[in-house]
Amino acid sequence: MLEIPHRTDTCRQFKADGGMVAAVLPIHYPRSLLRAFHILPVEVWGPPKVDVSYGGAHLQPYVCSIVHNALSFLKAGGLDETDILLVPHTCDSLQGLGSILIDFVRPRQPVFPIYLPRGRRPEDVDFLAEEFRALYENLARVTGRRPTEDALWAAIRREEAADQALANLYRHRRALGLGNRDFYRLVRSREFLPAETFTDLARAALAQRQADPPRTDRVPVILSGIVPEPMDVLDAIEEMDGEVVADDLACCGRRLYPQGRSEDPLRYMAERILFGPPDVTRGTPIEDRAAHLLRLAEDTGARGVIFYDVKFCEPELFDLPDLRRRLKDAGLPSVNIEVDIGDPLPHQTITRIGAFLEVIE
Ligand code: SF4
């Protein structure tokens, strides 16, 4: 079994080497830009186990648990060792969190928002590149550094190598011989490991893959949603003889970024994000999302989709009725489950997943 470095140790080591750490809220942001400033991005998807009463003082109860938990974690001191907070405007809830942080909570760390365009037109790329230029200036002020164009390209190449390794993990996931949970523990270490460390780890896993993986009788499914938390869902699927063979998760498969095309490093970073896999939070039309899921099912043999959504996640919920109808019409069944990332996996959820697996077996 691969030894994945611990998140806290990774941050401490990076800071001991003279770097800074940025806590980054979901979903899309320019990792390479931060690394060019010797800043390690460490992502905050909740986390699941926090006392949410801290965040409850500022947020309505119908705001999702990712935002509730993140604010609570911050206020409880969980992000005290970070130097910067980066808040992409992924959705209304995160946009609201950015405003609350800047106007009311005023944490010790500087808070930098990023506005993401909801399209892929040339003007969307221009807009996002300008956002990254503004972020460059903010980071320059905080760090006292001004990375050269060469340094930006070096950081881009390092992240691309890590993304290539990530794509290879997905391509060979069956041959890796990892169960659902161990595969996602490995994939999700991309959320906090430096790109080069993740690349080494992924290559070590790939080096151990089986040449001829045995066939299994498990029911192949796609997992869609924001984040597989609580991660017990991955064990539950396995215990009920299911196997996640592909995903459309915001923290994982929706960030298999392609290469860019521009000769300007900041535009290149923008292109990588905007031309990534379909994602509702980047404004992908429903028909494109449906086509993507159908293609994933065809490529992997998945017999159904489990939409595993965070409760009150508006972007996901808006798409769901139409998206599921299109999949059903195309012969791909699905089930929708909503969870609070801080709650234990409800028994009722396990039963529904079990029933779904039986139906599509
Ligand atoms: S779970 Fe949904 S609503 Fe919550 S932060 Fe993520 S995208 Fe926004």
pLDDT tens-digit profile of 231-258? 999 999 999 999 999 999 999 999 999 9
Residues 6+ apart with CB under 8 A from 272: 257, 258, 259, 260
Coil vs helix vs strand at 74: helix
- How far does the centroid of ligand 1 lie from the alpha carbon of residue 148, in Å? 35
Q: Check: CB of residue 290 under 8 Å from CB of residue 326.
A: yes
Window from 53-57, 177-181, 265-269, 290-294 with minimum mean pLDDT: 53-57
Looking at residue 214, its pLDDT comes to: 77
Window from 45-49, 78-82, 223-227, 332-336 with minimum mean pLDDT: 45-49
State yes or no: pLDDT of 348 exceeds 70.
yes
State yes or no: pLDDT of 152 exceeds 90.
yes
Per the structure block, which two tokens stand in for 70?
Answer: 């993140």
Render the burial of 200-227: b for 16+ CB within 10 Å, e for the rest. ebbeebeeebeeeeeeeebbbbbbbbbb
Looking at residue 54, its pLDDT comes to: 87
* Highest-scoring range by mean pLDDT, 49-53, 110-114, 215-219, 229-233: 110-114
Cite the beta strand spans of the chain per DSSP E: 20-24, 39-43, 84-88, 111-114, 219-225, 242-249, 305-310, 334-339
Q: How many helices (H) and strands (E) does the chain have?
A: 14, 8
- How far does the centroid of ligand 1 lie from the alpha carbon of residue 35, in Å? 25
Q: Is the CB of 226 under 6 A from ligand 1?
A: yes
ω into residue 26 within 30 of 0, thus cis?
no
Phi, psi (5° rounding) for residue 54? Answer: -60, -45
The residue among 59, 143, 71 whose CA lies nearest residue 107 is 71
Span 168-182, average pLDDT: 94
Q: Is the CB of 71 under 6 A from ligand 1?
A: no
- How far does the centroid of ligand 1 lie from the alpha carbon of residue 93, in Å? 6
Looking at residue 1, its pLDDT comes to: 67
Span 302-319, average pLDDT: 97
Which amino acid, one-letter code, is at 9?
D
Coil vs helix vs strand at 242: strand
Window from 64-73, 80-89, 214-223, 224-233 with minimum mean pLDDT: 214-223
**Residue 260 pLDDT grade (very low, low, confident, very high; cuts 50, 70, 90):** very high
Helix axes 232-239, 180-188, angle to 10 degrees: 150
State yes or no: pLDDT of 178 exceeds 70.
yes
Domains along the chain with CATH numbers: 7-138 (3.40.50.11890)
Average pLDDT, the chain: 96
State yes or no: pLDDT of 286 exceeds 80.
yes
User: How far apart, in whole angstroms, are the C-alpha atoms of residue 316 and residue 308?
Assistant: 10
